[in-house]
Amino acid sequence: MRTLGSFFANTGFFLTLTSSLAFAGESAVSLMNAGMPSACAEYAANVSKSEGNFSSVSPAVNGVTCYGAFQFCNSGTFQEFYNGTPQQFLNDPSAQVAAWIPYQQREWAKAQRNGMTSALAKEVCHNGTCAKITQSSILKACQFGCGKGGKLDNLVKSGMDCTAPGTADGAGTSVCKYLVSGAGYDVSCITNSSDGTNCTTPGTRS
């Protein structure tokens, strides 16, 4: 799963958002109503804001379509985390939440295994806004991928240089933007630990 914008940028597709694709995302309340643990609801809403609503369907690009509030794509993550049809998935917010939690847990394990968590507690700045990197920062940045040679991996290897090669997607969006916008949220339902931070100003980051 990737952010829809990153997916289209990396495939060279320019997306003009129409009113039907202007993702407002799901609120923390609607996500909790679908079974999201309350501890992670604000973070999940932050992610959904850049991904979609429960009913969101991306335009097909190179045969790939992504579905729902967290944009699970039929290139792999949809089939891996859900056993059903796309329409059933779109009609079932609880299924979307149930798929997202283990997906995020896998990404966290991958981030740990690949050394991305070495960035925790370091400061990162993007467009004049700075933040201390937290667990939620890492998880949101993993929307760029948490594998070796990915945007976050390249950033860590560069010594946290946000202008380093290989740290932005095809549209020029820096992984540092996601580290900053994802900072400070409780993600203990995913990481099974706490770095002592919680979102104190929900809704002010995107």
Query: How far apart are the C-alpha atoms of 20 and 48, rounded to whole Å?
Result: 15
Count of domains observed in the chain: 1
pLDDT in tens, 36-62: 999 999 999 999 998 999 999 999 999
Nearby residues of 203 by Cβ (< 8 Å), 6 or more positions away: none
Q: Is residue 116 part of a domain?
A: yes
The two structure tokens encoding residue 53: 């609503």
Query: pTM here?
Result: 0.82
Asked whether residue 206 is domain-assigned, the answer is no
Residue 197 counted as domain residue: no
The range of the structural domain enclosing residue 17 comes to 4-191
Residue 24 lies in a domain: yes
Is there a domain that residue 69 lies in? yes
Tokens of 98: 């149930």
Question: In sequence order, what are the beta bridge partners of 167?
Answer: none
Q: Mean pLDDT over all residues of the chain?
A: 86
**Burial of 146 (C-beta count, 10 Å sphere; 0-12/13-18/19+):** buried
Q: d(Cα 56, Cα 68) in Å, to the nearest integer?
A: 5
Question: Residue 175: inside a domain, yes or no?
Answer: yes
Q: Tell me, yes or no, whether 203 lies in a domain.
A: no
Looking at 62-76, 114-128, 154-168, 189-203, which range is the least confident one?
189-203
The pLDDT tens digits of the residues spanning 62-83 come to: 999 999 999 999 998 999 999 9
User: Percentage of residues in the chain with pLDDT exceeding 70?
Assistant: 83
- Determine the pLDDT at residue 1: 58
Domain presence at residue 202: no
Does the structure show a pLDDT above 50 at 34?
A: yes
Question: pLDDT at residue 6 above 80?
Answer: no
Task: Supply 128's token pair.
Answer: 């004049």
